[in-house]
Amino acid sequence: MAKKDAEMNEELMLEDSASPRVYELGFHIDPELPQEEVKKVYQGIRSIIAGNGAIVAEGEPEQIRLAYTVSRQEHAGRRDFDSAQFAWIAYEAAGEGHAAIVDAARTESRIFRHLDILTTKDAARHAAEVREMREKAPEKPEEVSDTELDAALESAAV
């Protein structure tokens, strides 16, 4: 009976790897790179994804502050990162294509952290819409004086 279950599991795994799924690859690029290099890294990963699947949605690199310090051992010694150029690409790919994409992110030395998760097309498109709205929104709300606020409250009360 166990042999039959193992064979069924193997068949399901092969079937799953053959059918395309939607993934989201988020990655942190070295923040000390010049902007042209950051774009090259992003475009390189994007080309690999396009060659092994279909891009669903994406967020180009943007400078972010990390919630905690990420350390990495390099040839010259330990290196700490407090910020990064963060980018993400949602894509659809099947087994071998997905493996090639994850391997490319893992071996790109200018990417110091990445995460590849299973998602849906709707969730990926929603993330792109939210990012677009955030970019269009003003950074700070306008300051209103106490006099203007009092006048607005009085006119609203009438």
Q: Is residue 126 part of a domain?
A: yes
CATH number at residue 97: 3.30.70.60
Residue 66 has what pLDDT? 96
Q: pLDDT tens digit string along 33-57?
A: 999 999 999 999 999 999 999 999 9
pLDDT at position 98 is: 95
Please check whether residue 66 is in contact with residue 83, taking contact to mean a CB–CB distance below 8 angstroms. Answer: yes
> Which pTM does this prediction carry?
0.73
Residue of 2, 1, 101 lying closest to 47 (CA atoms)? 101
Q: Which residue is it, tokens 């994850």?
A: 102
Contact at 8 Å (CB) between 103 and 52?
A: no
Q: Is residue 9 part of a domain?
A: no
Split into its structural domains, the chain has a count of: 1
In a domain, 132, yes or no: yes
The pLDDT of residue 149 is 74
What is the pLDDT, as a whole number, of residue 125?
87
Distance CA(17)–CA(27), nearest Å, equals: 23
pLDDT score for 17: 59
pLDDT at residue 6, rounded to an integer? 54
145 within some domain? yes
How far apart, in whole angstroms, are the C-alpha atoms of residue 76 and residue 129?
A: 41
Listed as ranges, residues in the chain with pLDDT below 50 are: 1, 9, 11-15
Q: Which residue range(s) make up the domain with 44?
A: 17-157
